[in-house]
Structure 1
Amino acid sequence: MSQLLSLWERVQVSHCGQYSVERTLALNEYCQRVSPLRVATVCIFTPLYPLVVVVLAECLPLRPTAEGSSANYVFWIRHSCMLLVMLVGVMVQAKAWVPGLPLSGKRLLGIAVGCSVVATALDVLVAELWVFPIPFLVVLGGPPVVAIVVFTTRCVLGRDGLHDIPDRAFSLRRFFQLFAAQASLTTIYPAYRALFLAAPSYIRQLLVALLPVLDLALKNVLAVYGSHLEDRLPEVIVFTVDVFDALYAVLCMRSANSFVMVGVTVTLNAITMMLTLQDMHHRSGVARANLTAKERRQGEAMETLVTTTLRLLQTPGQLDPSELRSIRLLSSARHRLSDASTTLLDALTAHTACNNGRRAPTTMTMTQLKDRHASAPMAEPILTDDSDTTAQPSRLRTPLRRSCFARKVDPVGGVRKGTQLTTPSHSRLGNTSVASVNRQALGTGRANLKSVDRGSRPAALAVSPLQSHTSEAQGAWRRRGTAANQLHQQNMRVVRQTLQLLFDNEYLCLTAYTQCVVPVIYIGYMACLQNLPNRQYYPDTRVVEDAQFFSDRMRLIVVLAGLQLTSLLVLHTFMTRHFAVSTLYQVAFVLETQAMLVQSRIASLLIISVGFPLEHYGEFSGRNGVNPGV
């Protein structure tokens, strides 16, 4: 059993990164200024844009394919609009993933419009000269579209525009690798769907059980190619693989009409979540131990995890210098921060030995990624101080509003003592004196460590001159130095585990949110399609034309959506109680700060899954196969 758990930990994508300090500051500010009502609004209305896109496409009246390409000019208009939406999503990703790419909003929209029109014109020409509908239009039309986009972008930006990109070769190579990995999913999941429909009923349940294995393999591929994005990996992976997974799981259940498959899917998701939570519990051992120790000595509200982490980073002398480079100060994408947080971040950048780059300096394998972010619990006892503990991770309070932060801080609370980084706009940057080591840790009197800076030695023990060179004093000195080193390692472990905890929670909560919201989007789409004339051009028209049949199938998906929603709420409650982190606030943070990326990607995947199976796009899996999209 332990070997299986070890294997599970090695393949988990949540082990591939940690939050940067900049992203942590952005989350801190978001949770301070945003109300629970706004959080709920963001979570509810984010899927509205993708749903509106696919529904409006179905409102365009189509003609039978037998009437030919010319009579179906409305289809070509629809096709061009769908390409436009998808190309806008691709260009938004390029702008976000390639730092320094001179792609303004006007250029982005102009390239997307021009390429969609040219690609559609070529498709019309092929249909007029060959046959309509064009067989495998979705698959065969992809490479020409990519070539047109690359050529057009090069012409618009010019040679100088591309040469000004920092680390141009690395950034462009990783972008195309990550984009190719995403594009491969548009073939892999439809192929899985075709295999599912062709399999006998007793094999289908096995295929449903194998879907998480397929998802995990694809997530690891995306994590490798997106390793340079690091603290944005959860958004990239979840809103690609998990959206596809949820869509095709819904499509498979709708075809099979089996509550057993609903139970299998929900059970597998629950098991996956439980294993991930168990792993998070193991990886956050030091932070939780410090929190527990502090709670035993102080019953009032704690400072936030963010505040504690920032306080420790402001005093690099309290951290293990050998591990400081593992902490990234800057996010892979710039965040809008207040003047106070910007000044604090600049001060940290100037005075600490942390990683100040916006991306990983080298390409890393999956094993290297997970080794880099490995976190094991400390074997030594937790060092505390009766009056002032430096390493005091806190709880992000419950209920919803208080579960993200117990009280507002700016951006690091506390009273300044000892040596610390100072900035013009921060008069209170937190307590920075090193905690006194207790009697059990030192084995000697109540000696205190005062403001131990990086590279400096602890202050001398108060002994008489005649005793200064005795073996007892030397032993106490060594014990004191050992305790200081242990405290520095403990503080460093608290910082790393806090940043990893935020990364893990973002990945887990986005996955749960996606599994909940995608079935709701599909239900809304099918409810609209049932009342539109274009329903006759989809392969399985009985689903939308027979009211009783439609009701039975949709009831199945409603049950799935309800169970996934329950799972999301249970996850939120569990995380706030046991890890002091708010799930819903972190979901809303990602959905709002990366709205264009998230919504455009969901819209693109929805078009591929439910829009392209249209009869006018030709057969998608052969003349005597079953269309895998509906």
Structure 2
Amino acid sequence: MAVYTIIAVAIAANVFFPIPFMTITMTLPFLALVGGSFRLFVGSQTVHEILKQRERLAHFTLYLAAQTLMSVTYPAYQVLFQAAADAGYELTVVALLPIVKLVMRNIIALSLSRMDDMMPEAVVFSVDFFNAFYIITSMQNASSSATVAIIMVADLIHTVVAWKSLRRRASSIIRESRAGGVDLKLPDILDVASFLLRTHKSESKSFAHVQIRSCMTHQLSLENRILLDDLTKATKHHQFPTIRSLEHVGRGSDNPWWSCVWRRTNVVQVQPIIVKTNEQLRPEAKDESQRLDGALKVLFTAECLVLSEYLETFVPVLYTIYIMVMVHLPSAKYHTELSGVTVDTIGSKIQGILAYGLLELLSFVALVALMRRGCGVRSLHHLAFVLETHMPHIQDKLLAWALLTLGSRVVHFGVDFSFKFDWV
């Protein structure tokens, strides 16, 4: 935005340069300009209509606040890690990273509680991106190879535990489905969910807890559109599921990170319903309802897992390419992450990162294969679906977060967690 750039240049030229924590302190002027421009183009009537949607505005504000908090928390963590590395306590600080990751996931998931279909993509390509990025940075600045090895082993154990938990739940659902008459040539959780929906779509009580419509638009075949219409008529109304507490949920938990949802073809008005309890359902319907709920949870969790592993696979490669290019540029001296790094020493700096990237690639390939064989989940289809349908959102996030995380390490952006600001 030209006006925003002019304001920032004017402050830097006439007040102080660098502007302390520029990416944070200049956020309010940026939002004011965006809000004013939006008001100018859409008109006051549209703005008043938007202001009436208080709950959505509250979630939107929380989402923006979470993004801002994340852009401050992770750079602060990096400063803490560097100080701990100098003092020999880096392993203690490394142990804090999963806690930071979990807290940020909770906050962002809460802000998207009415847009469940967007949660995996929104959380993974924001929180997990920052987490993967700062894991790599921690490995780059680690004072010993033991720290790097511990980070790699911890990540591998996390993936194994997650897969075992998913396999246990998926195997139970497939076994119960076959016993209930579902004809499965190959174990496939999606086939289980599809079978239950298609064969029992007239029994609204069985699926009253399932959200039929999605918060996004998808291209569906005529057959699937008819199925959704039939399910809509059977259940009459829909409700958005509430967000479950994530305080004890991780990749190895028996519950998904977020509530499970189903896809839809277009946006509809969502109204609450009175959900029937299991006591009100016939015994067969109880089993079908529980089996469908379990299948959707497995599919949802699998989508989150494969997205996270995919992200952790390519982030090390991108960062390695970035620092190998930057070290040859004259501006490298202004990048704090390249302090003391030269063309001659860059090889030793990226060895650990490349090893971590290779481990993540092997982990991703193994996870995809094991999820297909042991869990009946075609995770590559999940990945392709998200990358295709959410591509604009993913591109926006990756571009914004890459610029923010890398830009915050340039001295011109005024990041100084000692708060001395010697240049002011």
TM-score scaled to structure 1, two decimals? 0.57
Counterpart position of 2:66: 181
Aligned residue among 345, 350, 353 for 2:235? 353
Q: Which moved more, 1:201-210 or 1:165-174?
A: 165-174
Secondary structure at the aligned position of 1:366 is classed as coil
Counterpart position of 1:431: none
Instruction: Tell me, in whole angstroms, the C-alpha distance in 2 between the residues paired with 1:196 and 1:487.
Output: 55
Deviation at 1:541, TM superposition (A): 4.4
Instruction: Tell me, in whole angstroms, the C-alpha distance in 1 between the residues paired with 2:298 and 2:52.
Output: 30
Counterpart position of 1:312: 196
Counterpart position of 1:479: none
Query: Measured at CA, do residues 317 and 249 of structure 1 come closer, stay the same or move farther in structure 2, by a change above 3 Å?
Result: closer
Counterpart position of 2:410: 614
Instruction: Tell me, in whole angstroms, the C-alpha distance in 2 between the residues paired with 1:133 and 1:174.
Output: 33
The one of the two structures with greater contact order (alpha-carbon pairs below 8 A, sep at least 6) is 1
Query: Is residue 519–residue 558 contact of structure 1 (8 Å, CA) maintained in 2?
Result: yes
Query: Measured at CA, do residues 207 and 368 of structure 1 come closer, stay the same or move farther in structure 2, by a change above 3 Å?
Result: closer
Query: Measured at CA, do residues 201 and 162 of structure 1 come closer, stay the same or move farther in structure 2, by a change above 3 Å?
Result: same
Deviation at 1:538, TM superposition (A): 1.9
Aligned residue among 186, 197, 201 for 2:82? 197
Counterpart position of 1:324: 207
Counterpart position of 1:214: 100
Counterpart position of 2:134: 248
Query: Is residue 20–residue 416 contact of structure 2 (8 Å, CA) maintained in 1?
Result: yes
Counterpart position of 1:572: 368
Instruction: Tell me, in whole angstroms, the C-alpha distance in 1 between the residues paired with 2:311 and 2:346.
Output: 24
Deviation at 1:601, TM superposition (A): 0.6
Deviation at 1:567, TM superposition (A): 1.1
Q: Partner letter of residue 159 of structure 2?
A: M
Secondary structure at the aligned position of 1:227 is classed as coil
Query: Is residue 174–residue 188 contact of structure 2 (8 Å, CA) maintained in 1?
Result: no
Deviation at 1:141, TM superposition (A): 1.3
Counterpart position of 1:280: 166
Segments ≥4 residues shifted beyond 6 Å: 367-370, 623-626
Instruction: Tell me, in whole angstroms, the C-alpha distance in 2 between the residues paired with 1:262 and 1:367.
Output: 28
**Alpha-carbon deviations, 1:104-126, whole Å to 9, x = none?**
xxxxxxxxxxxx21111111111
Query: Is residue 21–residue 414 contact of structure 2 (8 Å, CA) maintained in 1?
Result: yes
Instruction: Tell me, in whole angstroms, the C-alpha distance in 1 between the residues paired with 2:121 and 2:149.
Output: 27
TM-score scaled to structure 2, two decimals? 0.83
Counterpart position of 1:533: 330
Instruction: Tell me, in whole angstroms, the C-alpha distance in 1 between the residues paired with 2:248 and 2:229.
Output: 27
- The structure having more radius of gyration, on CA atoms, is 1
Deviation at 1:545, TM superposition (A): 2.3
Query: Is residue 332–residue 338 contact of structure 2 (8 Å, CA) maintained in 1?
Result: yes
Report whether the alignment pairs 1:146 with 2:31: yes
Secondary structure at the aligned position of 2:352 is classed as helix
Deviation at 1:150, TM superposition (A): 2.2
**Alpha-carbon deviations, 1:578-598, whole Å to 9, x = none?**
111122221222112101111
Instruction: Tell me, in whole angstroms, the C-alpha distance in 2 between the residues paired with 1:539 and 1:233.
Output: 33
Matches within 5 A, 1:297-308: 301-302=185-186, 305-308=189-192
RMSD of aligned residue pairs (Cα, Å): 3.2
Secondary structure at the aligned position of 1:326 is classed as coil
Secondary structure at the aligned position of 1:289 is classed as helix
**Alpha-carbon deviations, 1:392-434, whole Å to 9, x = none?**
xxxxxxxxxxxxxxxxxxxxxxxxxxxxxxxxxxxxxxxxxxx
Query: Is residue 173–residue 291 contact of structure 2 (8 Å, CA) maintained in 1?
Result: yes
**Alpha-carbon deviations, 1:547-578, whole Å to 9, x = none?**
2x210011110001011111111111110111
Counterpart position of 2:245: 366
Instruction: Tell me, in whole angstroms, the C-alpha distance in 2 between the residues paired with 1:270 and 1:540.
Output: 26
Report whether the alignment pairs 1:137 with 2:16: no
Counterpart position of 2:266: none
Instruction: Tell me, in whole angstroms, the C-alpha distance in 2 between the residues paired with 1:216 and 1:275.
Output: 17
Unaligned runs of 5+ in 2: 256-278
Query: Measured at CA, do residues 592 and 261 of structure 1 come closer, stay the same or move farther in structure 2, by a change above 3 Å?
Result: farther
Q: Partner letter of residue 221 of structure 1?
A: I
**Alpha-carbon deviations, 1:442-488, whole Å to 9, x = none?**
xxxxxxxxxxxxxxxxxxxxxxxxxxxxxxxxxxxxxxxx9x93322
Counterpart position of 2:276: none
Deviation at 1:222, TM superposition (A): 1.7
Matches within 5 A, 1:591-606: 591-606=387-402
**Alpha-carbon deviations, 1:213-263, whole Å to 9, x = none?**
211122122222222111321111111111001111111211125332222
Q: Partner letter of residue 242 of structure 1?
A: D
Query: Measured at CA, do residues 570 and 304 of structure 1 come closer, stay the same or move farther in structure 2, by a change above 3 Å?
Result: closer
Query: Is residue 328–residue 355 contact of structure 1 (8 Å, CA) maintained in 2?
Result: no
Report whether the alignment pairs 1:334 with 2:217: yes
Deviation at 1:181, TM superposition (A): 0.8
Identity %: 26
Query: Is residue 310–residue 364 contact of structure 2 (8 Å, CA) maintained in 1?
Result: yes
Query: Is residue 325–residue 354 contact of structure 1 (8 Å, CA) maintained in 2?
Result: no
Q: Partner letter of residue 31 of structure 2?
A: V
Matches within 5 A, 1:15-26: none
Query: Is residue 375–residue 497 contact of structure 1 (8 Å, CA) maintained in 2?
Result: no
Query: Is residue 286–residue 494 contact of structure 1 (8 Å, CA) maintained in 2?
Result: no
Query: Is residue 177–residue 291 contact of structure 2 (8 Å, CA) maintained in 1?
Result: no
| Residue-pair matches, total | 394
Query: Measured at CA, do residues 303 and 165 of structure 1 come closer, stay the same or move farther in structure 2, by a change above 3 Å?
Result: farther
Deviation at 1:304, TM superposition (A): 5.1
Deviation at 1:544, TM superposition (A): 4.3
Query: Measured at CA, do residues 307 and 127 of structure 1 come closer, stay the same or move farther in structure 2, by a change above 3 Å?
Result: same
Report whether the alignment pairs 1:505 with 2:317: no
Query: Is residue 201–residue 230 contact of structure 2 (8 Å, CA) maintained in 1?
Result: no
Matches within 5 A, 1:7-406: 116-163=1-48, 168-199=53-84, 200-256=86-142, 258-284=144-170, 286-291=172-177, 293=179, 301-302=185-186, 305-316=189-200, 321=205, 324-350=207-233, 352-353=234-235, 356=238, 359=240, 366=245
**Alpha-carbon deviations, 1:333-376, whole Å to 9, x = none?**
111223332233222212x217535x55xx75637999xxx989
Instruction: Tell me, in whole angstroms, the C-alpha distance in 1 between the residues paired with 2:185 and 2:365.
Output: 24
Counterpart position of 1:28: none
Deviation at 1:290, TM superposition (A): 2.7
Query: Is residue 287–residue 497 contact of structure 1 (8 Å, CA) maintained in 2?
Result: yes
Instruction: Tell me, in whole angstroms, the C-alpha distance in 1 between the residues paired with 2:28 and 2:90.
Output: 32
**Alpha-carbon deviations, 1:507-534, whole Å to 9, x = none?**
1111111111111110111122123222
Deviation at 1:497, TM superposition (A): 1.3
Query: Is residue 21–residue 413 contact of structure 2 (8 Å, CA) maintained in 1?
Result: yes
Query: Measured at CA, do residues 196 and 122 of structure 1 come closer, stay the same or move farther in structure 2, by a change above 3 Å?
Result: same
